Amino acid sequence: MKQLEQEAHQAAGQQFLVSSSNQLRLVLFEKLRLHERCENKKLPKTLLKQQQSTSEAVLLQLQDLHPLPKIILEHRQVHKIKSTFVDGILSCTNKTFISSTWNQTSAVSGRLSAKNPNFQALPKQPLQITKKQYVHGKESEVVTIHPRTMFIPRQGWTFLSADFCQVELRLLAHLSSDPELLRIFQNPDADVFTMLAAQWKGIKEDAVSSEDREHAKRICYSVVYGAGRERLSGILGVSAEQASRFQDSFLHTYREVQTFIQTTIQHCQHQVFIHNISASREVPAGFAPSNISTTNTCSPTP
C-alpha cells in the first residue's frame, strides 16, 4: 500500500491523501482534467452534491487515459484485502485456530452465511499488482496477493471444499422453463458455465476462455439477483455501458428468464406474496418435477 501511494503521488505530480475522495477528485478532474478527455462518455456524478464521482466504475473508464486511476484501483483492492480479510481474520483467531459461526436462516437468498470471520467472502482469484522497476531494461515484477494462502491445514490433515453444482442456475432453468437453459442441463457431464458462455457468445466450447466462462457466470448471477450495470461493471472490470450490453445480450439469448423475473415481480406486487417450491425428503427443494403443484407461501413482504 505504501508503494502504491508513492506511485500515485508520482503519477499525480503532487502529494495527496489517496483514500480521500475529495482530494482524489481535485487531482483527477481539476488538475489532470481527465473528464474532458472522455469522448462521448458521460461520467456519473455523486447523488447528493452532484460532483464528479471517484467510484470504481469511473476509474475503470479513466484508466486508459492516465496511470493514476489504475493505481488508485489497485490501492483500493489491496486496502480491502488488508482491512476486511487480514485484519478481520486476525481479530478472530484463538491461539492458532479459527472457527467461524455459520447461519442457516439469515441470508435472504436462502444461502448459508458465515461471520467472525466470513470465510465465504474470501476471493477465489488472487490479486495481481504490477510492481514498477526503476532499473532501465528490467521488466516489471508481478506481485500476487491471495488471502486464501493464509490458511494452512495442520500436519496430516487437508482442506475439503463442498458446493452445490450450479444450483441457482438449475433453479432458474426450472422456474423460467427457458428452452435454451434447459438444453444446457441435458448433458450431466458438461461444464454448465462453459456451455453457457459458448451459447451466449456464439462460439465453440473449446474456444471459450476462462475469462469468457467467468463473465458468463457473473452476468448470469447479476441478472438473477438484480445487480445493476454499475455493480456488474465493477465485478467484471469493464465500463458501465459494456456491462449493460452484456446483460441485454444475455437476456436476449434467454428470453424466458426476463419473462419469469417480470412475472414474479408483478405477482408479488399484486398478491403481496410469492410461492416457492416445496421441500420434502422425497423431493429435494428446487428439483421437484413440474407436475408437483404443492407449494408454500412466503410471509408478506413489508
What are the pLDDT digits (tens) for 38-78? Answer: 776 777 787 777 888 898 888 988 888 899 999 999 999 89
Could you tell me the end-to-end alpha-carbon distance of the chain, in angstroms, rounded to an integer?
44
Residue 134 CA, distance from chain mean position: 34
| pLDDT tens-digit series, residues 155-207 | 999 988 887 777 888 888 899 999 988 888 887 777 888 887 887 778 888 88
Residue of 102 and 133 predicted with greater confidence: 102
Confidence of residue 36 (pLDDT cuts 50, 70, 90): confident
Pinpoint the residues of the chain covered by CATH 1.20.1060.10: 2-91+123-150
Confidence of residue 133 (pLDDT cuts 50, 70, 90): low
248-282 in b/e burial notation, b at 16+ Cβ within 10 A?
Answer: eebbebbebbbebbeeeeeeeeeeeeeeebeeeee
Strand residue runs (E) in the chain? 101-103, 113-115, 127-131, 141-145, 275-277, 295-297
| pLDDT tens-digit series, residues 217-243 | 888 888 778 888 778 877 777 777 878
- For residue 135, the model assigns a pLDDT of 59
Cα maximum dimension of the chain: 72
**Amino acid in the structure at residue 9:** H
Cell of 8: 500515485
- For residue 72, the model assigns a pLDDT of 94
Q: Quick one: average pLDDT of 118-137?
A: 75
- For residue 22, the model assigns a pLDDT of 92
Pinpoint the residues of the chain covered by CATH 1.10.150: 167-271
Helix 210-224 and helix 192-201, axial crossing angle in degrees, nearest 10: 90
Strand partners, 277: 295
- For residue 271, the model assigns a pLDDT of 87
Q: Is the pLDDT of residue 299 over 60?
A: no
- For residue 144, the model assigns a pLDDT of 87
Separation of alpha carbons 129 and 144, rounded Å: 6
Taking phi first (over 0 means left), then psi (-120 to 50 degrees means alpha), and beta for anything else, what does residue 100 get? beta
For the chain, what is the mean pLDDT?
Answer: 80
- For residue 47, the model assigns a pLDDT of 72
- For residue 222, the model assigns a pLDDT of 82
Cell of 1: 500500500
- For residue 28, the model assigns a pLDDT of 93
Contacts 24+ apart (CB under 8 A), 147-154: 147/81, 147/85, 147/86, 147/89, 147/122, 147/123, 148/122, 148/123, 148/124, 150/85, 150/86, 150/89, 151/98
- For residue 24, the model assigns a pLDDT of 94
Strand partners, 296: 276
Domain 2-91+123-150 has CATH 3.40.50.300: no
In this structure, the number of other CB atoms found within 10 A of the CB of residue 78 comes to: 17
Q: Is the pLDDT of residue 256 over 80?
A: yes
Q: Quick one: average pLDDT of 257-281?
A: 79
Percentage of the chain with pLDDT > 90? 18
- The per-type count for the chain, helices as H runs and strands as E runs, is 12, 6
The residues, ordered by sequence, that sit 6+ positions from 163 with a Cβ below 8 Å of its Cβ are: none
Domain 167-271 has CATH 1.10.1060: no
Dihedral (CA of 194, 197, 200, 203) sign: negative
- For residue 227, the model assigns a pLDDT of 82
- For residue 236, the model assigns a pLDDT of 74
Q: Is the pLDDT of residue 136 over 70?
A: no
